[in-house]
Amino acid sequence: MRMDPLQTAIVDAGPTHLRVRGYDVLELMTQGTFTDMIFLLHHTRPPTPVERRLIDAILIGGADHGPGAPSCAAARLAASGNRQSPSAAIAAGVLTIGDEHGGAGSACMELIAEGIERSRRDGITFARAAAALVDEARAAKSRLPGFGHRMHSVIDPRVDVLFTLAKDSGLAGDGIGMARALEQAIAQRIKPIPLNIDGALAAILHDLGFPPLFGKLIFIVSRVAGISAEVLEEYTREKPMRITFPVAYDGAPPRRSET
């Protein structure tokens, strides 16, 4: 029977060759870094040294924030109950990643793109475009993705590192400009809510030419390294079924079926 082939512009794999975006993987294996490969897989070319530095910083910064994060906690729970498959535990961790946990990068990239587009289209400054976006979010009572973090009420030190790297590299572009404009507008119109790690990477990834969805994907690729390490620790150091939870019931009192 027939089925349509799975078409791809990413990988060309044959019995004697393996190329990604046209580049020879064997050559990359001897000279490149995994970060080059991650860039190449999601872009159309390898990174420049400056771009590689920024992507490395983002990947390192997001890899692990401790076992209390939903991603690592869920992976440990799965490793606690199901010790037949480390991939099952890693997948359970990946599944906790969404708009609320580590996935705000994508939404922030869309917000940044929208602000830049408005500035161009309406011939207004970044500051005014950012103010408009903040007012709209406030009116709609919606959160501004990429700002605020439940654990770092004042500042996440990783954000400064990322922005310093971006500035030093000469890469600072419209994405970073709009992110800063949004941060200022939020401080003036609501209260100071610092850009978080998702917002910082959103600004940089915009300036590197990645599509918004990559904001989520790079966090997943990064965090899988940490999830994997925590699964290894759970398998080798802890007993199965060791994680128990306090529970409280507040539903209906005992009652009898009428049947």
158-177 positions binding its own copies, by CB under 8 A = 158, 161-162, 164-165
The interface region with its own copies, picked from 94-102, 113-121, 171-179, 182-190 by CB under 8 A, is: 94-102
CB 46 within 8 A of CB 32: yes
| Phi (first) and psi of residue 11, to 5 degrees | -115, 135
The interface mask with its own copies, positions 109-148, x = CB under 8 A, is: ----------------------------------------
Residue with tokens 């970073």: 176
Rg (CA), the chain: 22
CA distance 1 to 116: 50
Find the binding residues for its own copies in span 26-45 (CB under 8 A): 26-38, 41-42, 44
Provide the token pair at 73.
């906690």
Q: Is 196 in the site for its own copies (CB under 8 A)?
A: no
CA atoms within 13 A on the CB side of 184: 12
Q: Is 11 in the site for its own copies (CB under 8 A)?
A: yes
- We find the least distance from the C-beta atom of residue 173 to its own copies, in angstroms, to be 20
Instruction: Pick the binder of its own copies from 145, 175, 199, 226 (CB under 8 A).
Output: 226
Given its phi and psi angles, is residue 5 left (phi above 0), alpha (psi -120 to 50 degrees) or beta? beta
Q: Strand, coil or helix: what is 216?
A: helix
The interface region with its own copies, picked from 119-127, 149-157, 173-181, 188-196 by CB under 8 A, is: 149-157
Instruction: Pick the binder of its own copies from 135, 151, 171, 196 (CB under 8 A).
Output: 151
